Chain A
Amino acid sequence: MALLSIEDLSLHYVTSRGVARAVDGASLSVERGQVVGLVGESGCGKTTLARAVTGVIPRSARIVGGKIMFDGMDLVTASRRDANRLRWREISFVPQSAMNSLDPVYRVGTQLMEVLTDRGGMDRRKAKARAAELFEMVGIGVDRLHDYPHQFSGGMRQRAAIALGLALSPKLVIADEPVTALDVVVQRQVLDLIRRLQQELSLSVIIVTHDISVVAYLCDAVAVMYAGKVVEVGRAADVLNAPDHPYTMGLYNAFPDLERSQRRLTPIAGAPPSLIDPPSGCRFEPRCPFSIAKCGEEPPLEEIRAGHRAACWRTGDAAELREKAADVATWEQREGVGA
């Protein structure tokens, strides 16, 4: 049984401008010890989906359907007490901006101790030892436990956030764009750290990123999200080498490898649609270079091969489309889209 399985989850934001369907029937599962990438452009609902798993969602957010099964319990319908018991002990979160996620007025060590004593039930002596151990694990000098967050560099803050996330040895760590705010060299170091710790501790991890190269580097499985929906999901190697959804093909062209190979890059023209009033039918259709008449209808997320699913009407021609998609010109032709 999967550790986490999100089934047909829908989450809406009620705003003054209307209801934004930020997550619209998304499904995703994470096996024990697996690293799952959640990838897509900014504004596609990745953060929203990831945060829904932690159970802490903004006041304007409403879960309107679906299940979040974690270790046999549905977090959507669980009582507050049950859900709270899991927080940080079983499911922890590494945020995008470690700067804002650390309380500026307490020492980093104090914030670690808080979790260890309040949530981990350790006494102070034990907690101290654990805090030192955690800092060692993420490669920060133990003396820096006495520093305040603003005294850390960006990379150190991110490491501290990882230490914080691992404090109670959770089963699942959700990392939301854990390296996006860092410069390239530091990005690499932090990704290595995540990979090492994941293997040592056999963690289950969800990595949220807009950068498909991060997925290639870290992930066992990947789910591609577009406009509130999961449009393609499968083993990372599969999805990256033989994408079935044109959006995945486009994403691949849009980002450099971590190895910085000389591949020509081109962004997908336009931007993800507003989730308040998304296009009917396939949501990617307006930006898709391969759209056909049928795309006016919404494609279901269908199994194509074992463990590989995609929501596209043209999965049958996928091999041909991949060839065309590899040609940068395909993406440049579609002018005036979404501009």
Chain B
Amino acid sequence: MAAQVDTSPAGAAAKPRAAWHRRLKQVLPTSDPFAVAGILIYVVFILVAIFADQLATHDPMEILFTDTYKLARSLPPGPDHLLGTTNVGRDIYSQLIYGTRGALLIGFAAAAAVVAVGTLVGLVSGYLGGWVDNVLMRLADIALGIPFLPFVVVLAAFLRPSMWNVVFAITILLWPNSGRVIRSQVLSVRERAFVEAAVVTGASKAQILFVHIAPNVLPLSFLYGSIAVGWAILTEASISFLGFGPSDTVTWGYMLQDAYASQALSRGHYNWFVPPGVCIILVVLAGFFITRGYEEILFPKLRR
């Protein structure tokens, strides 16, 4: 045993960190022009979200008045109001800017939660196996058997509509996708020689799990993360549109709901409801671009 310890230590110590690096590089396909476009779109939106306070021209919820003290309702786009105003005199451009912050916050929070839960479940389930695995996977079955949006609607009706509850709802329904795939990845990685080497050298279970196995599933986690951002933003928009969205945050979904409920459609206020939709498309599309070619993992059943 001791002899074996001596043959590998240099490699064993250096490997894990290198592995994380290498894996990350694999995931970021910087030579693909589509992926670059996707990353650029994300960067722009993230900057907008960060600098929303500087970029916005008005308070998004403030009811505005014109110079002649009349309600600034349904103004067309112009220099004062870049995208015009809503029917009660709110600045649409500023809503869009703050909506970016709200949407991305929800998107990233949900994606992080989905991936964290999915990865953890996948690691534990795959590594421990046995009844733990069984229980977790049956839970995943159930979660996947639940129709997504209707459940979020029902849930949103119970939990007070807030941003965190939307994130919560998205998380409990989306983790199984990543959890399952990561579990099967763990199962294949677990058998590999270097894991056994780690067992021989006496690394603890947790050490093996996080130092030797985790780096190999990181690309998958990342992938699911990028996809989950788009999903979460779309879901938030849908929930908000149905009127169960967070009441404490301006989001793109809120804007669309507001426009729909305020007859913006019949009045032809395209300046009101087109921009938020375009923003949603761009963010989700960027996610597609970054994860291009991985469409099928959204529908794991399609791959046999």
Direct contact of A and B (CB under 8 A): no
Q: Which positions in B face A, CB cutoff 8 Å?
A: none
